[in-house]
Structure 1
Amino acid sequence: MITIPIGALEVAMVQSGARAADTLRDTAECARHIEELGYVRLWYAEHHHSPAIGAFPPVVLTAHAAALTSSIRLGSGGVLAPNHAPIMLAEQFGTLAALHSGRIDLGIGRGPGTFDEPTARALRRGAGPTTDDEYRDDVSATLRFLVDEVALDPLPEPWLLASSTAGAALAAELGLPIAFAHHIRPDNTLAALDHYRARFSPSRWCARPRVLVCVETVCAETQQEAAWLAGPMDVVKAGLLKGRGDIPFPTPEEAAAHSFTTEEERAVTGFRVQQAHGSPDIVAKQLTALVEVTRADELMLVTPIYAPADRLRSYQLVKEQVAPAV
């Protein structure tokens, strides 16, 4: 059994032929169901110029989901600091926290949220990639504005997203809880978390190291069905290996017909075995093993399944493997 709290990361996957309104409707329904299942938090990720993922701002999705739910924690996972003025992030999430007391998280990340260079430059008003010092200044300024300028009560709970030791070092320095992207850089997870715990400095935000690990999770009644449902994301990953972010999210049928190169097959398989895919008992064992090796305080599941009903079924099957006391 899984013995720590679990949350969900939604990335608004776009089905073939769907309108933006359809994706937003499904995303809203998913929030209601995830709360009913007993998940502790639900985050939304920032993406731009992708045919597979909707370009819906996390702050807007958070506000909409908060209006439709009553208890689950909601927020960004993450909103990307280099794309936004720090004071605007503080004002937006500070306002949400005041409207929905004790339920809002501000998860901050660094990436551009797109593979399209013109889009990345447009988001940053012509500027190039942010430096380490600029990113640190942006995160620090956002936290400062929350306290000194917004000064609402309660404040949102800040988290720093990381996929490397550098991100973990910044979370430790600023005394922030860390949300580690095991679903993106699993080979970095253990070293980064060791670095974070060893160098953590307590702050007003967090008294001790606090670790959330995000893991790709695809659960179905059988191993074969889980592999079928995971197929579309395998195709997207194969495109990302080539530096392409313009791969549409295929149907499971389209994914089953896709031809992978030997290198792609090896890479996708190597990634998959570090995540949690399979039947409920297998997924429970994989997630439990991940908790043991990472000493995570919380898990967050990202479940990139094509059909919303299948995605919700995966969430349900995993939740049934969580110990009742949790």
Structure 2
Amino acid sequence: MITAALGALEVAMVQSGARPEDTLRDTTAFARRLEELGLRRLWYAEHHHSPAIGAFPPVVLGAHAAAVTSTLRLGSGGVLAPNHAPIMLAEQFGTLAALHSGRIDLGIGRGPGTFDEPTAQALRRGAGPATDEEYRADVAETLRLLVDEVGLRPLPEPWLLASSTAGAALAAELGLPIAFAHHIRPDNTRAALAHYREHFAPSRWCARPRVLVCVETVCAETQKEADWLAGPMDVVKSGLLKGRADLPFPTPEEAATHPFTAEEKQALAAFRAQQAYGAPGTVAERLAELAAATAADELMLATPVYALADRLRSYELVREYAVMPPR
């Protein structure tokens, strides 16, 4: 059984043949059903200029979901600090937290949110990638402004997103809870979390280390069905392996005919072995093992499958194997 609290990461995949507004409609149904299932958090990721992932601002999706739910925690996973002025992040999430008391999280990340260089430069108004010092300053200034300038209460709960030891070190230095992207850099997870716990400095935000681990999870009645549902995301990943982010999110039928190279198949299999795919018992065992190995307080599941019904069914099946603490 899974005893860690469960949450969900919404990346708002835009299915082949669908409209972006169809994806937005699905995010509403998704949030309502997750609340019914008793999940703790639903976070939205920031992406730009991708045919497969909607460019929907996390603060907007979070505000909408908060308005149609009542107990689910909503937030960003993450909003990307280099793309935004700290004062804007503080004002936006401070306002959300004041409107929805005790339900708003501010998950801050570093990446550009796009593989398209002109888009990345547009987001940064022509500036290059943020340096380590600039990123640290942006995060620290956002936190300061939340407390000293915005003046709204209650405050959102800040988290730092990380996929490396460097990100974990910053979370430890600032005394923030950490959300680790195991679904992106699984080989970094254990070393980074060990560094985080060893160097954690208590702060006004967090008295002890708190760890959330995000894992890609596709659960279905059988292993064969789970593999079928995972096919579309495999196509998108195969493009990323070649430096391409221009592939749409195909149907499972389209994905089944995609010509993967031997190298791509090997890389995808190695990645999948560190995530949670398969029938309910297999997935539950894998998630429980990962929670134990990382001593995670929470698991956040990323389930990029084509149809909303299949995505929700994945969460429903996992929930049957979970004994979660109260929200």
Please report the TM-score for the alignment, with normalisation by the length of structure 1. 0.99
| CA–CA separation in structure 1 for the residues paired with 2:226 and 2:310 | 10
| Distance in 2 between residues matched to 1:15 and 1:232, nearest whole Å | 9
2:188 corresponds in structure 1 to: 188
**Counterpart code for 1:77:** G
Could you say what the CA RMSD is over the residues aligned between the two structures, in angstroms? 0.7
Structure 1: 5+ residue stretches without partners: none
Identify which range, 9-18 or 102-111, moves more after superposition. Answer: 9-18
Q: Are positions 1:231 and 2:231 aligned together?
A: yes
In structure 1, what is the equivalent of residue 293 of structure 2?
Answer: 293
State the AA in 1 paired with 2:20.
A
| Structure 1 residues 38-57: Cα deviation after superposition (integer angstroms, max 9, x where no partner) | 10000000000000000000
Q: Displacement, 1:325?
A: 5.3
For residues 300 and 118 of structure 1, what CA distance do their matches in structure 2 show? Answer: 31
Structure 1 residue identity aligned to 2:250:
P
Give the deviation of 1:23 after TM superposition: 0.8
Deviations 1:238-264 (A, max 9, x none): 111111111110110111111111110
Aligned to 1:151: 151
Q: Cα 1:210–1:113, aligned 2, differ >3 Å: closer, same or farther? A: same
2:2–2:324 contact (8 Å) kept in structure 1: no
Tell me whether 1:106 sits opposite 2:106 in the alignment. Answer: yes
Paired with 1:64 and 1:189, the residues of 2 have a C-alpha distance of: 32
Compare 134-143 and 254-263 and name the one that shifted more. Answer: 254-263
Question: 1:147 Cα shift?
Answer: 0.3
Amino acid at match of 1:24: L
1:306 partnered with 2:309: no
- What is the alpha-carbon distance in structure 1 between the residues aligned to residue 150 and residue 84 of structure 2? 16
Deviations 1:2-54 (A, max 9, x none): 01100000010101121121110001110001111110000000000000000
* d(CA) in 2 for partners of 1:283, 1:17: 30
Query: Offset of 1:142 from its aligned partner?
Result: 0.2
> Which string of whole-angstrom CA distances, capped at 9 and with x for unpartnered residues, describes residues 299-319 of structure 1?
000000000110000011111
Task: Please say if 1:32 is aligned against 2:32.
Answer: yes
Q: Give the corresponding residue for 1:284.
A: 284
Q: How does 1:257-276 map to 2 (within 5 A)?
A: 257-276=257-276
Structure 2 match to 1:55: 55
Q: Secondary structure at the match of 1:209?
A: coil
Residue 65 of structure 2 corresponds to which residue in structure 1? 65
Measure the CA separation in 1 of the matches of 2:174 and 2:151. 19
Task: Give the 4+ runs in structure 1 shifted more than 2 A.
Answer: none
Deviations 1:65-109 (A, max 9, x none): 000000000000000000000000000000000000000000000
Q: Which runs of 5+ in 2 are unaligned?
A: none
CA distance in structure 2 between the partners assigned to 1:114 and 1:256 by the alignment: 26
Cα distance in 1 between the residues matched to 2:102 and 2:18: 34
Q: Which residue of 2 aligns with 1:169?
A: 169
* Secondary structure of the structure 1 residue equivalent to 2:50: coil
Q: Distance in 1 between matches of 2:155 and 2:281?
A: 39
Percent identity over the alignment is: 79
Deviates more, 1:315-324 or 1:189-198: 315-324
TM-score using structure 2 length: 0.99
Q: Is 1:128 matched with 2:124?
A: no
1:218 partner SS: strand
Q: In 2, Cα distance between the equivalents of 1:264 and 1:325?
A: 39
Q: Deviations over 1:202-260 (max 9, x none)?
A: 00000000000000000000000000000111111111111111111011011111111
Distance 1:225 1:10 in 2: 21
Once the two structures are superposed, the pairs formed by residues 2-41 of structure 1 within 5 Å of their partners are: 2-41=2-41
Residue identity matched to 2:189: T
Partner of 1:166: helix, strand, or coil? helix
Q: Which residue of 2 aligns with 1:201?
A: 201
* Residue type at the aligned position of 2:296: A
Partner of 1:90: 90
SS in 2 for 1:229: helix
8 A contact 2:95–2:152 mirrored in 1: yes
CA contact (8 A) 2:5 2:325 kept: no
> What's the counterpart of residue 254 of structure 1?
254
Query: What CA distance in whole angstroms lies between the structure 2 residues aligned with 1:43 and 1:324?
Result: 18
Amino acid at match of 1:68: V
Query: How much does 1:151 deviate?
Result: 2.2
What letter is aligned with 1:80? L
Q: Which amino acid in structure 2 is aligned with residue 75 of structure 1?
A: G
Partner of 2:245: 245
